[in-house]
Amino acid sequence: MKARIHVFYKDSVFDPQGSTVEESLKRMGFNKIKNIRMGRVIDLEMDYDSKEEAKRDVTKMCERLLANPVIESFKHEILD
């Protein structure tokens, strides 16, 4: 079983990497860009018997370590 986790800065938090990429793309001529938010993707391979148990534990992992709840939000999906 696998899990894919997406972690992003919350909308209210300045995203310096996203801002840098946005400005670079605009300088390259991609002027229709309005906003870029960068994030990260974490893939986990796991050994759980049920998706419910895996989902519960992945949520705990995100809340405790993988995402900073003060400045980041996350979403995840359990893959077969």
> How many angstroms separate the CA atoms of 36 and 66, rounded?
22
Per-residue pLDDT at 80: 79
- Contacts of 39 by beta carbon, 8 Å cutoff, 6+ apart: 6, 7, 8, 9
pLDDT of residue 28: 98
Dump pLDDT digits (tens) for 3-43. 999 999 999 999 999 999 999 999 999 999 999 999 999 99
Question: Residue written as tokens 């990260």?
Answer: 40
| Tens-digit pLDDT profile for residues 38-64 | 999 999 999 999 999 999 999 999 999
Only one residue has tokens 């900073």, namely: 68
* Mean pLDDT to the nearest integer, 63-70: 97
Of residues 78, 66, 77, the one with CA closest to residue 8: 66
Query: pTM to 2 decimals?
Result: 0.86
